[in-house]
Amino acid sequence: MKVIRILLAAALLLTSISANAQRHHRGSDRLGEFYFGFEAVAPTGNFNKTAENLMETGKPDMVMRWEDVGTSASMGIGLSFKYSFEFSIIDDQCSAGPFVGIDLTWNNLDKSVRKVFNDKKCDMPNYINMPIMLGANGRYYFNDVFGVSAEFGIGADMLYITPQGWSGAQEKYGTDFAMAWQVGAGVYFGRHVNVGVHYYSLGNHTTVETKDKDYTQYLGALMFKLGFCW
Segment 134-155, tens digit of pLDDT: 999 999 999 988 999 999 999 9
What would the pLDDT profile of 1-39 be if each residue is shown by its tens digit? 554 455 445 444 544 444 444 444 444 445 688 999 999
Which pLDDT band, with edges at 50, 70 and 90, does 104 fall under?
A: very high
Q: How far is CA 183 from the centre of its chain?
A: 11
pLDDT at 69: 53
The residues with which 149 forms a beta bridge, in sequence order, are: 139, 186
Tell me how far CA of residue 82 lies from CA of 109, 141, 151, 220, 227, in angstroms.
Answer: 28, 20, 12, 20, 10
Task: Determine the structural domain holding residue 126 and report its residue range.
Answer: 2-229
Question: 118 exposed, middle or buried (CB, 10 Å; 0-12, 13-18, 19+)?
Answer: exposed
Decide: 187 and 86 in contact? Cβ < 8 Å.
Answer: no
User: How many other CB atoms are found less than 10 A from the CB of residue 53?
Assistant: 19
What would the pLDDT profile of 50-64 be if each residue is shown by its tens digit? 766 555 444 444 445
CATH code for the domain in which residue 201 is found: 2.40.160.20
Number of compact structural domains in the chain: 1
Query: What pTM does this model have?
Result: 0.80
